[in-house]
Chains A and B, each alone.
Chain A
Amino acid sequence: MLGISRGERIFGVINRSVMLLLTVAMIYPFWYLVMASLSDPKLTALGGLYLWPKGFSWDAYIAVLGDASFWSGFRVSVIVTIAGTVIGTFLTATTAYAISKKRLQGRMAVSFFILFTMLFNGGLVPNYLLLKELHMLDTLWALIVPGTISAFNVFVMRSFFVGLPEEVEEAAKIDGANDLTVFFRVVLPLSKAVLATIGLFMAVMYWNDFFSTILYITDKGKWQLQAVLRNLIDHAVQSSGNGPNGDQIQVSAFTVRSASILLATLPILLVYPFLQKHFVKGAMIGSIKG
Chain B
Amino acid sequence: MFRSAGSALPIRADRWKRIKRDKYLYLLLFPGLFIIFLFKYVPMYGIVIAFKEYNILLGVFDSPWVGFQQFERLFRTPDFMKIFRNTFVISLYKLIFGFPAPIILALLLNELKNGFFKRFTQSVLYLPHFLSWVIFTGIIVAFLNPVDGLVNYVLTSAGMKPINFMIIPDYFRTLLVSTHIYKEMGWGTIIYLAAMSGVNPDLYEAARVDGANKFKQMWHVTLPSIRSVILILMILDLGNILEAGFMQVFLLYNPLVYDVGDIIDTYVYRVGIQSANYSLATAAGVFKSVIALVLIYTANKIVRKSGNNGLW
A interface, CB within 8 angstroms of B? 1-2, 5, 7-8, 11-12, 15-16, 18-20, 22-23, 26-27, 29-30, 32-33, 36, 44-49, 91-92, 94-95, 97-99, 101-105, 110, 113-114, 117, 119-130, 133, 145-146, 148-149, 151, 154, 166, 170, 173-174, 178-180, 183, 204, 207-211, 215, 226-227, 229-230, 233, 252-254, 257-258, 260-261, 264-265, 268, 272, 275-276, 279-280, 283-284, 287
Contacts and interface: CB of A to CB of B under 8 A. Distances in A.
A254 B138 CA distance: 11
A148 B39 CA distance: 10
A125 B39 contact: no
B285 interface: yes
Contact of B29 (A94, A120, A207): A94
B79 to A, nearest CB: 17
B141 A233 contact: yes
Interface residues of B, number: 96
Given A105-B15, A126-B42, A166-B4, 20 more contacts: A19-B112, A20-B121, A22-B105, A23-B125, A47-B145, A48-B157, A95-B28, A97-B25, A105-B19, A120-B44, A122-B42, A123-B285, A124-B273, A125-B282, A126-B282, A130-B39, A178-B24, A208-B132, A233-B134, A280-B194
Given A98-B29, A258-B142, A276-B126, A122 B5 contact: no
A252 to B, nearest CB: 8
B214 interface: yes
B213 A7 contact: yes
A46 B32 CA distance: 53
B49 to A, nearest CB: 7
Contacts of B186: 26
Contacts of B293: 119-120
Interface of B: 4-7, 15, 18-19, 22, 24-29, 31-33, 35-36, 38-47, 49, 59-60, 105, 108-109, 111-112, 117, 120-121, 123-128, 130-135, 137-139, 141-143, 145, 147-150, 152-153, 156-157, 182, 186, 190-191, 194, 205, 208-209, 213-214, 232, 246-247, 250-251, 265, 268-269, 272-273, 278, 281-282, 285-286, 288-289, 293, 296
Given A123-B289, A264-B135, A280-B190, A98 B26 contact: yes
Given A149-B35, A230-B251, A173 B5 contact: yes
